[in-house]
Chains A and B, each alone.
Chain A
């Protein structure tokens, strides 16, 4: 009862605070924290659903009016949540370490980038870009392309485990990136390092501004992805994946077809990345191979591990934390220190303005992020929201 009032109050208060102080990063973090509290608090299910729906469907777009950057962050968080959930199937459930996951994201992104921009004219003569309405069809194309590429990667690596699998998937991710970088000759497919632009944006009903439209689209896809994830996990398919993770040989001896199950895991995981790739390319209007580096794969993997391997809420929270940390907290920290430096603030008799440029805080973002990962793994290796084994209703024998 107290928690219910607290949760409702917290959401309302933090939303009001963001509206009042639209430039304060701390207040926005408070708003995100209140959502996590709503999820974790012991409150009735309907209240939790209502509060989360209110916050994500109404408050977030409204707050976007006060500070447009927040909506951009929320959209990016959504994209990475879908990626983390996809990778969670492959790594968290099936236990197949995939270090090249961003490749599927790239495949989806390039599919719409090529046909949704004038670039395809180079190959096919004319008639491009496709009408913006095609974007919605390409969501399906991205999904199928992602799944197909996932299966394609799965086929040669079926016999590999652990370290060997990691190396091959790492190589695969690099192959896709290097292909994107170099397929501007002899036929110009990807336009090489210059990237592709302008990519068409989809038509939006009711003249909703693009930022809001993409936010809602990403939110819708994330909801679907979470639903699909939960249904897969809580079925014989998900149990087979977990069995493979625990003991591949025993799983096979108990009747789990390894090839099919693994390919299904690769395909499902990759399809989420494919669909988000299409959204990403339309949102960014411009893409180039730089968006799909090895570091991105590692970033998504860090989200899964930080959140808790195999845990759906964990993947959501992990993606949020990492994205917000990178886009807001560390950037905000850097800005703040720079302001102090420029103002010539004196700390313990030392003028910060004398700080050598090598010690510029912006250069420490990655280091701080790394330190957080290290500390996390030492003190909470199971992740922020680890898998809780559900006690099952026993059937009547």
Chain B
């Protein structure tokens, strides 16, 4: 029995730069976090998972099906959806319209249904609206449903992006720094929501996060990337104690730049 989601030996190069080097990643259920210093290749990894980038080497499977070579919308239709590090909502559309776009892959209507406006169309649109409203309520944005997304406060935009991603009924959710720019209280509330979603919907979640309080609190497993390579993986407390992780974040002992400069003199 293979894992729900499995990536093997992912290598991605941009010209001469190797952004990812032979990275393995697997997830069955629960919440996994990917951490690492800036430029470690975390978002690149997400972009490979969701089909925005094509990896030079390696393969990704989801429920046993290979994903490499599929378009992003096909991958979303299979059940993987994501949010973006720098929020990418449809700014001039309302909150609920954003969520409705997220359901695009689940709409089973042809052009004929749309133009004929028969009972099939009305049933489908009604169901979409009901589900979109439910999702907005879940993330606490129902009162703002008809607000234009661009005008929502920052925290609401992050939560709307989450609702939009959930709208495609994913089995695997990829969140790119969902708590960036949030206060400690907001981040805590969001993580509470995430945990509830995992419990209710049986979602598997991969989280890119810089906020260590969030990572250590919510993750079942943590993967550490540095310079495009996986340097550590395990339960949060194991990773925290891993000397290679400490080195990646803080540098090695006796290698501080000022000291070396002194020695050169």
Interface membership of A392, Cβ < 8 A? yes
Q: Is B134 a contact of A254 with CB atoms below 8 Å?
A: no
A contact residues around B132 at 8 Å (CB) = 395
Q: Is B115 a contact of A254 with CB atoms below 8 Å?
A: no
Give the interface SS of chain B, mostly helix, strand, loop or mixed: helix
- Of A22-30, A35-43, A234-242, the one contacting chain B is A234-242
List the 8 closest pairs (A to B, CB-CB), nearest first: A255-B105, A395-B130, A395-B129, A397-B134, A246-B90, A255-B76, A250-B88, A391-B146
Q: Is B100 a contact of A389 with CB atoms below 8 Å?
A: no
Give the interface SS of chain A, mostly helix, strand, loop or mixed: helix
Assembled-state Cα–Cα distance A338/B143 (Å): 61
Q: Is A254 a contact of B101 with CB atoms below 8 Å?
A: yes
Assembled-state Cα–Cα distance A397/B135 (Å): 8
Interface membership of A348, Cβ < 8 A? no
B contact residues around A254 at 8 Å (CB) = 73, 76, 81, 101-102, 104-105, 164-165, 167-168
B contact residues around A394 at 8 Å (CB) = 96, 129, 133, 142, 145
Q: Is A257 a contact of B133 with CB atoms below 8 Å?
A: no
Q: Is B96 a contact of A392 with CB atoms below 8 Å?
A: yes
> What is the interface of chain A, defined by CB distance below 8 A to chain B?
228, 231-232, 235-237, 239-240, 242-243, 246-247, 249-258, 264, 389, 391-397
Assembled-state Cα–Cα distance A249/B47 (Å): 11
Pick from A236, A239, A246, A255: contact of B92, CB below 8 A.
Answer: A246
Closest Cβ of chain B to A79, distance in Å, is: 22
Q: Is A397 a contact of B130 with CB atoms below 8 Å?
A: yes
Of the candidates A232, A242, A243, A255, the one having the most CB atoms from chain B within 10 angstroms of its own CB is A255
Q: Is A256 a contact of B101 with CB atoms below 8 Å?
A: yes
Q: Closest A residue to B135 by CB, please name it.
A: A397
Assembled-state Cα–Cα distance A115/B165 (Å): 52
Q: Is A255 a contact of B104 with CB atoms below 8 Å?
A: yes
Q: Can you name 14 extra interface pairs (CB under 8 A) apart from A253-B52, A254-B101? A: A231-B114, A236-B114, A239-B93, A240-B104, A242-B97, A247-B90, A253-B84, A254-B102, A254-B165, A257-B74, A389-B97, A391-B146, A394-B133, A395-B133
Q: Is B97 a contact of A239 with CB atoms below 8 Å?
A: yes
Q: Is B90 a contact of A251 with CB atoms below 8 Å?
A: yes
B contact residues around A264 at 8 Å (CB) = 111
Q: Is B114 a contact of A250 with CB atoms below 8 Å?
A: no
Closest Cβ of chain A to B58, distance in Å, is: 21
Q: Closest A residue to B82 by CB, please name it.
A: A253
Q: Interface 1/0s, chain B 124-143, versus A by CB < 8 A? A: 01111111111001000010
Assembled-state Cα–Cα distance A393/B101 (Å): 17
A contact residues around B107 at 8 Å (CB) = 236
Interface membership of B109, Cβ < 8 A? yes
Q: Is A243 a contact of B90 with CB atoms below 8 Å?
A: yes
Q: Is A393 a contact of B129 with CB atoms below 8 Å?
A: yes
Q: Is A249 a contact of B145 with CB atoms below 8 Å?
A: no
Q: Closest A residue to B72 by CB, please name it.
A: A252
Q: Closest A residue to B97 by CB, please name it.
A: A239
Assembled-state Cα–Cα distance A258/B137 (Å): 29
Interface membership of B148, Cβ < 8 A? yes
Knowing A232-B114, A394-B142, A396-B133, the reply to whether A242 touches B90 (Cβ < 8 A) is yes
Q: Closest B residue to A394 by CB, please name it.
A: B133
